[in-house]
Structure 1
Amino acid sequence: MDTLGKKVIEEFGENVFNMKMMRNYLSEGTFESLSATIRAGDTLDSEIADDVAEAMKTWALEMGATHFTHWFQPLTGATAEKHESFLVPNHDGGALMKFSGKELIQGEPDASSFPSGGLRETFEARGYTAWDPTSPAFIKECANGGVLCIPTVFCGYKGEALDKKTPLLRSMDALSKQLCRLGNLFGIDNKGKRAYATLGAEQEYFLVDKKLVSRRLDLIQTGRTLFGCSPAKHQQMEDHYFGAIKLRVMEFMTDLDHELWRMGIPAKTRHNEVAPAQFELAPVFEELNLAVDHNMIVMEVLQSVADKHGFVCLLHEKPFAGVNGSGKHNNWAVCGPDGKNWLSPGKNPHENAKFLTMICALIQAVDDHSELLRASVASAGNDHRLGANEAPPAIMSVYLGHDLTEIIKQIENGVKGSSRKGDSIELGVSSLPLLPRHTTDRNRTSPLAFTGNKFEFRAVGSKQSCAGPNVVMNTIMAEALDTICTRLEKQMAEDGNLADVLPGVLQGIVKKHKRILFDGDNYTDDWVTEAKARGLANLPVTPEALKPLQTEKIRNLFSKYGVLSEAELESRYEVYMEQYEKQIAIEAKTAVHMAKTIIMPAAIRYQLQLSETIINLEKCNISASGNKELLTVISSELDNLVKGIDVLERSIDLDGINKLSAMEKMRDAADSLEKMIPNDIWPLPSYAEMLFMV
C-alpha cells in the first residue's frame, strides 16, 4: 500500500474516542463494561463514569482540546453546544485540568431559549443534557486548540424531550423489540441480542463562489435566491451529472474527505449531481443513531471546508428556481438479532419468507401512515423541491420494482407463481412464489423505493436532520410488525406451524394495503389523478402536511410505543409550524428590502439612461422608436415591481401561503427586468455566474 493510503487508514477516526481509542485509555474492566453498553444496549454502569471521564480528558488534552461540551440536537434542526473549560483553579494559585464522571454524564444548558412548542415557559430555564454512550465523543479542532464534543440527549426539568435524538433512541428501542419478537417466531435466538436500523444518508449540496454570495442578500439571509431568471443553459444538456469534476472542486472534496475521515465518518462516494454547481456525498451505511449524528457533522464540515476554499456550501432544498433541488436520500434498512439485513433476500427458504414478511410490513406501515411520512419531511424549503426536477412528489407511495411487484401480486392471489428465468430463490412455503435475487430497478421519482436491500426515502430535504423521518420509519414499522406478530402468534397457537399461517397473513396485508404500491412515473398528472382515486393524500405545502400530527391516530401511535408523549408530539407541531411561518416571513422581508434598495434603483437608473438617450436622439432628428418601446416595457415592469412590493408588504402579517404568492408575483417583475437591464447596471450576480463560475 502506498504512503498516502497508509496515512489515510492511520488517520481514520483519530479525532474520535472510539473503541480503538478506548482500549488505549481505559482499564480492561471499564472497557468491557462500556463496550457492553455500546454494543448490546446494556444499562450504563454509573460507577465507571469517573474512569471514562478521566480517560476522555487525557485523550482530549493530548489532542489539543482545552474545553468540553455536551453536543446536542435541539428542535431548531441544527446542533448546539456550550463549551466548558477543563481548567480548575487550585489553592496554591495555580490550576488543574479536571473532568468528572458527573460532568460527563449530565450537563445543564439553559433550556428557555430553545424552541419547545409549549413544553417549557420562557421563565423555566432549567434543561438537562445526558450522555449518549452509543455515539462516540469527538474533537472539533480550531487553529489554536479544540473542544471535546460529547453527544447527548436534551430534555426539560420534567423529563420532556426537547431534542431530536431522544425520540430517535426511543423509536429504535420500539423497533428492536418488534424485530426480536418476529425473529423469535422464525426460530432466531435473540437472548441477550438486539436488532437495529441502519442508515446511509446521501447528502446533496451546491457550491457557489463566496464573492458572488456576498453580493446576494437573499442567499445570505434565506439560503435561496428570491430573484433570478434562468440562464439559457443550465441542466438541459445533462452534461454535469457524473461529469469530470473541476480541479477547484476536487481540491475541496479531497480536503472534505480527509476532514470527515478523521472524524470517523466513512465518506465513500462523491460526484457531480444533475444541476450545475450541485454535488453529492454518500457515506457507508452505519447504525442509525450514529449515522444521524454523522450527517449533522457532515453538514457542518461541508460549510467550514467550503469556506476555506472560497466557496459557500448551500444546503437549502431549492437554492435556484428551475433546476434540481437538493435532497438527502435516506437509505433505511434493518439488522435483526441474527446480525443479518432483513431487507435482503437470504440464502435459504426460511430467510426469504422473513424477507417477504418485512416487505409486507413496510407496505402496511406506509399505507397506514403515508400522511405521517409526508409530515416528517415538511419544511418551507422542501415545499419548493417536492414534485419537480427529480424530487419525489408530496404523494407518498412505495416502489418495489417489476419482479418483486409480481411476487406481491402472486401472494395476493394466493397462488405459487414463477419468476422470470434466471437466478431465483425457493421460499420453501408452498403458497409463496419464487423470489428472484435481483428484485428491482431504481425509480428516481418514487418517494420510497426498494433498491435491493434497503428502502430509499428520497423525500427528505437536504438541510433536514435525518432524525425526524427515521423516528417515523422506525415507529410505523414497529406498529406494523407488532400487528403481524400478534396475528401470527394467535394463529400459530391454534395451528402451530408458521409455514401454514404466514401466507394467509401476508395475503391479507397485500389485499388491504396494495393501493400504496406504484411502479410508474410519479411526476405525471395521471398519477395525481390515480392517487386521488386510490384515496392517497396529496399534501404539497407544509401547513397541510403537518396537520396529521394533531390527529388522535398519530397521538395514539407515538404514545403506544413510548416514542413521543401527547405533549411532546403537540410541541413538534407548534415548533415546525412556527419555523415555517418565520422562515417565509424572513424571505418576504428580505425580498421587499432587496426590491426596494437594490433592484428598483437599478431599474430607475436604466430608465433614466433610456430617457436621456431618447431626448438626445430626437434632438438629432434620429428615430428613437426602439428605445421608446424598450422604455415602455421597462416602465411597465417597474410599475409591476412597485405594485408587487405593495402587495407583499400588505401580506406580511398574513400566513405563509399568501406571502409566497405575493413574492412570486413580485419576482416575475424583477426577473423580467433582469432580462432587459444591462449587466453593468444589474446589481445582482446572475444564475449563469453562480452556477457556472465554480
Structure 2
Amino acid sequence: MSGNELRSQTIRQITDRKKMPPKLPSRLEELWATDVFTLTKMQACLPKDVFKSLKNTIQTGGKLDVSVAGVVAAAMKDWAISKGALYYAHVFYPMTNSTAEKHDGFISVQSDGSVISEFSGKLLVQGEPDGSSFPNGGIRSTFEARGYTAWDVTSPAYVMETDNGVTLCIPTVFISWTGEALDKKTPLLRSNAAMSKAATRLLKILGHSEVAPVNSSCGAEQEYFLVDAHFAHSRPDLLLTGRTLFGRPSAKGQQFDDHYFGVIPERVQVFMQDVEERLYRLGIPAKTRHNEVAPGQFEIAPYFEAANVASDHQQMIMTVLRNIAKKHGFVCLLHEKPFAGINGSGKHVNWSVGNPTQGNLLDPGDSPHDNLQFLLFCGAVIRGVHKYGSLLRAVVATASNDHRLGANEAPPAIISVYLGSQLEDVFEQIKQGNVQSSTPAGIMNLGVATLPEFTKDPGDRNRTSPFAFTGNRFEFRAVGSNQSVSGPLVAMNTILTDSLTWVADRLEAELAKGTSLSAASYTILKEVMEKHGAVVFGGNGYSEEWHRIAVEERGLLNLPTTADALPVLTEEYVEELFARTGVLSKPELESRFEVYAEQYIGVIEMEAKLVISMAKTVIYPAAFRYLSELSSTITNLKQIGLELEAEIASKVASLTKQMMDRVSKLSHALETHDFDTIQEHMQYCAKTIRPLMDEVRESADTLEGEVADDLWPLPKYQEMLFIK
C-alpha cells in the first residue's frame, strides 16, 4: 500500500469515526471534589481531636502528630473502598517532570488463610520505593537502593479512576535513605516555609501583630496540541519524542489568526467537557478553555491555589489530558514544539504570595505609590529577579523548551521584569527620590450608548516579557508546557526569601538609627532601583535592539540554550542561595544539575538516532521509489519519441544524496564520546548534534515538497493540524 493510500485510509477512519456523544453535564456542586478526601469528609469520619490536629497541620503548617495516622488511615481506607478502590499508591514526583506511583493492595492475609482489607498508619505515613532506579544525580549508587516516600498531609488524598479500576492516591515526598530530596515536592515545601518565615518577619516590622503563615500561590495556564491517534501512530517521531522531527509546514498555518479563540471544534469540545468533569471530581478548579494561536492547539487554565496543591494538580491535569485524549481517539502532545513553523506550547505560571490576615501581598491597591507593603514586596521581587535571573532561566531549561524560548512566540531567554506603565512610573519616581503619585485607572468609553463604560487597567500587558506583573501577581511565561511547575516555584520562592530577608535587615538597620518607617522604606526601595532597576523593561522583548541593550548596556545574561543555562546551578552564588535559605543542600543541587544535564544529552541523542533511522528507512525509500518511477517514465516516453524534462528527477536525486550525506555526518558525530566534562558534552549536543539534525531535516522537508504525494509515507502537517 502506498504512502498516500495509507494516509487516505487514515483520513477515512477519522472522518467516518462514530461521534462520541457529549455527556449530559452534571451540576458542578454535585461533581466537585467527589473523588477527594477533603477536610469536610475527614470531619465527618474522624474523632474531633484527631480532626483538629490534622486541620491544624494542614492550615497552619504545624507539626504532624504521627500518633493520629492510624485513625486517619482507617478512615481513608474505608472512604476509598466505598469509591471502589482495591489498591493505594504513594504518589511522588521524581526529577523526571513525571508522576510516579507504586500500587499496593489493601489485602492482608490472616493466619487461617482468609484475607481482610487493612491499611495502617505506618503504611500511610511511609513507603519504600527503589531509591536508585530514579534519577538521583549521584546521590545514591546503583547498589544503594533504599528510598522513602513520606505522606504530605497538606495535599489531599484522592481516588484516581480509570477504565481499569480505582486507586487511592496519597501525595508524598520522595527522599533517599540518607535524607536528600530526590523529588520536586520536598524543595517546594521547604521554599514555602522559608519564604513564609522571611515574609512574616517583614510584615511584623511593618507593624502587623497578627500574621498568618504566608504561602505562595500558583495558577498555571496549560497549552497542548491534539492530534488524531491514527496520525500519531503513523509517526515514529511523535510517538517516541512528542514532536515531529520531519515535516514541511502547511501552506496554511496560523498566519490568518483564525484559530485563536475561535469556535472550539465539536469533537474537541466533547473531549474538553470530559476532561473538566474528571478534574472537578478531583477538586481541580479548571476555569478557562479555548483555542490557542496555532491550529490544533488548545489551553486549559485553573484558578489560583496554594503552590504545593497547585503543583500536584498540574501533574494530575497532564495525566488526565493524556488519558482522556485516548478515550476520544486523540494523542495529547505536551511537547513545547511539536510542529515547526507554528507556535509551540508553554505553561505560564501565575505566581503570588499572601495569607489570610494580610491578603495578597502583591496587590498594589488603588494608590500603589504610598502602599509601602506592596512596594517592598514588589521591590524584593525586582531585586531577586535581577540577582538571580540566570537561575530562573536555568529552571526552565530543557531540550524541548529550547525550541520555543527566544522565538517570536515566547519570551526571550534574557530574563527581565515587566511592571506596566503605572508601576514602572512609580518605581522610576522612587529612583529619582520624589514619589508623588501613581497613574489612576482610566474609564473606557466605547462611543456607543448601548455599550457599558468600564474601568480599564492602569497598565497594558506585555506578551514578550518572561516575567510580567499582571495586576496582582507575576506571570512567569518562560515555563515549558511539559514541565513540572515545582522547579520554577521553588526558584521564585527562594529568590523572594533572599530579598525579603535583605529588605528586613536593611529596614531594621534604618529604624535603629531613628529613621521613620516610611523614609526607611523609600530609601531601601531607591537602593533597589539604583542597583537592580536594569532588569525592569517595558518594551518589545523580541527586538534585536533589546537584546543588544540588555547584554551590552544593562549587563543581563543571554543564555540561549540549556547547555548555556544549566551550569548556573553549579555556580557558587546559587549554591549559597539555596544553602542559606535551607531549600537545597549542595549535594541536592549538584544532583539536579547532573540529572537535568543527562536528560538534555539523552533527549538530543535519542532524537538524533531517530532522525537517522527515519531518514534511512522511511524517507529515503519513498524518494528512491519516486526516482525509479520518474526514470521509468522518462525512458518509456523516449521510446515513443516524446521528451520529458529530467529536471525534477535530477533535483530529487540531488536532494536525496544531500540528505543521506548529512545523515552520514550526523552518524559520525554521534560516535564521539570523549568529553572531559558533562558541560562539554552538552555544548557538543547544542552546537554540533542539533545543527546536524536540522540539516537532515532541511533536506527531507524539501523532498516532501517534491516527491509525489501518493508515495510520501508520513502524515503531513496539513492533515494532522486541520483534520479533527
TM class by shorter-chain length? over 0.9
Offset at 1:322?
A: 1.0
2:324 equivalent to 1:305: yes
Of 266, 271, 274, 2:285 maps to: 266
Of 420, 437, 454, 1:401 maps to: 420
Distance in 2 (CA, whole Å) between partners of 1:404 and 1:46 is: 47
2:662 equivalent to 1:634: no
Paired residues of 2:126 and 2:148 also in contact (CA < 8 A): yes
CA distance change for structure 1 residues 646 and 144 in 2, over 3 Å: closer, same or farther? closer
- The count of aligned residue pairs is 678
Paired residues of 2:244 and 2:339 also in contact (CA < 8 A): yes
Aligned partner of 1:404: which letter? Answer: L
Tell me which moved more, 57-66 or 384-393.
384-393
2:693 equivalent to 1:674: no
CA distance change for structure 1 residues 160 and 141 in 2, over 3 Å: closer, same or farther? same
Paired residues of 2:368 and 2:438 also in contact (CA < 8 A): no
2:413 aligns to what SS in structure 1? coil
CA distance change for structure 1 residues 124 and 374 in 2, over 3 Å: closer, same or farther? same
Paired residues of 2:336 and 2:482 also in contact (CA < 8 A): yes
Deviation per CA, 1:390-419, whole angstroms, max 9, x where unpaired? 200100000011111111110000113343
1:82 aligns to what SS in structure 2? strand
- Report the equivalent of 2:479: 460
2:169 equivalent to 1:149: yes
Which structure 1 residue ranges, 5 or more long, are not aligned? 425-435
2:577 equivalent to 1:577: no
2:274 equivalent to 1:255: yes
2:171 aligns to what SS in structure 1? strand
Offset at 1:439?
A: 3.9
Distance in 2 (CA, whole Å) between partners of 1:37 and 1:408 is: 39
**Matching of residues 347-362 of structure 1 within 5 Å:** 352-362=371-381
Of 101, 104, 108, 2:121 maps to: 101
Distance in 2 (CA, whole Å) between partners of 1:596 and 1:349 is: 62
Aligned partner of 1:595: which letter? Answer: A
Paired residues of 2:159 and 2:169 also in contact (CA < 8 A): yes
Distance in 2 (CA, whole Å) between partners of 1:423 and 1:231 is: 43
Distance in 2 (CA, whole Å) between partners of 1:656 and 1:476 is: 30
Aligned partner of 1:445: which letter? Answer: T
Of 314, 322, 342, 2:341 maps to: 322
Offset at 1:9?
A: 1.1
CA distance change for structure 1 residues 266 and 666 in 2, over 3 Å: closer, same or farther? same
Paired residues of 1:637 and 1:669 also in contact (CA < 8 A): yes
Distance in 2 (CA, whole Å) between partners of 1:347 and 1:326 is: 35
- Report the equivalent of 1:220: 239
Aligned partner of 1:219: which letter? Answer: L
Offset at 1:500?
A: 2.2
Distance in 1 (CA, whole Å) between partners of 2:613 and 2:369 is: 65
Paired residues of 1:200 and 1:282 also in contact (CA < 8 A): yes
CA RMSD of aligned residues (A): 1.6
Of 543, 568, 576, 1:548 maps to: 568
Distance in 1 (CA, whole Å) between partners of 2:368 and 2:291 is: 41
Distance in 2 (CA, whole Å) between partners of 1:458 and 1:6 is: 34
Of 372, 380, 383, 2:391 maps to: 372
1:651 aligns to what SS in structure 2? helix
Paired residues of 2:441 and 2:457 also in contact (CA < 8 A): no
Distance in 1 (CA, whole Å) between partners of 2:109 and 2:692 is: 59
- Report the equivalent of 1:132: 152
Of 117, 120, 126, 2:137 maps to: 117
Aligned residues: percent identity? 50
Aligned partner of 1:680: which letter? Answer: D
Distance in 2 (CA, whole Å) between partners of 1:442 and 1:514 is: 19
1:207 aligns to what SS in structure 2? strand
Distance in 2 (CA, whole Å) between partners of 1:631 and 1:85 is: 64
Distance in 1 (CA, whole Å) between partners of 2:209 and 2:640 is: 97
2:674 equivalent to 1:656: no
Aligned partner of 2:667: which letter? Answer: E
Distance in 1 (CA, whole Å) between partners of 2:647 and 2:163 is: 59
- Report the equivalent of 2:82: 62
Of 169, 173, 198, 1:178 maps to: 198
- Report the equivalent of 2:555: 535
Distance in 2 (CA, whole Å) between partners of 1:499 and 1:5 is: 54
Of 578, 581, 588, 2:608 maps to: 588
Paired residues of 1:112 and 1:121 also in contact (CA < 8 A): yes
- Report the equivalent of 1:432: none
2:75 aligns to what SS in structure 1? helix
Offset at 1:600?
A: 0.2
Aligned partner of 1:526: which letter? Answer: E
1:543 aligns to what SS in structure 2? helix
- Report the equivalent of 2:635: 615
2:573 aligns to what SS in structure 1? helix
2:287 aligns to what SS in structure 1? strand
Deviation per CA, 1:44-88, whole angstroms, max 9, x where unpaired? 011110000000000000000001111000111101111110011
**Matching of residues 127-526 of structure 1 within 5 Å:** 127-190=147-210, 193-336=212-355, 338-346=357-365, 352-420=371-439, 438-495=457-514, 497-526=516-545
Aligned partner of 2:697: which letter? Answer: R
CA distance change for structure 1 residues 545 and 472 in 2, over 3 Å: closer, same or farther? same
Which structure 2 residue ranges, 5 or more long, are not aligned? 1-22, 444-454, 673-683
Offset at 1:422?
A: 5.0
Offset at 1:318?
A: 0.4
Of 685, 688, 693, 2:718 maps to: 688
TM-score (normalizing by structure 1):
0.96
2:480 aligns to what SS in structure 1? coil
Aligned partner of 2:421: which letter? Answer: H
- Report the equivalent of 1:18: 38
1:229 aligns to what SS in structure 2? coil
Distance in 2 (CA, whole Å) between partners of 1:608 and 1:296 is: 50
Deviation per CA, 1:648-670, whole angstroms, max 9, x where unpaired? 11111443121111100000110
Of 66, 81, 89, 2:109 maps to: 89
Deviation per CA, 1:258-278, whole angstroms, max 9, x where unpaired? 011001100000000000000
Distance in 2 (CA, whole Å) between partners of 1:37 and 1:348 is: 37
Distance in 2 (CA, whole Å) between partners of 1:319 and 1:304 is: 19
Distance in 2 (CA, whole Å) between partners of 1:347 and 1:237 is: 39
Paired residues of 1:393 and 1:447 also in contact (CA < 8 A): yes
Paired residues of 1:189 and 1:338 also in contact (CA < 8 A): no
1:251 aligns to what SS in structure 2? helix
Paired residues of 1:206 and 1:315 also in contact (CA < 8 A): yes
Aligned partner of 2:176: which letter? Answer: G
TM-score (normalizing by structure 2):
0.92
Moved over 4 A (4+): 3-6, 347-351, 421-424
Aligned partner of 1:138: which letter? Answer: Y
2:217 aligns to what SS in structure 1? strand
2:101 aligns to what SS in structure 1? coil
CA distance change for structure 1 residues 344 and 686 in 2, over 3 Å: closer, same or farther? same
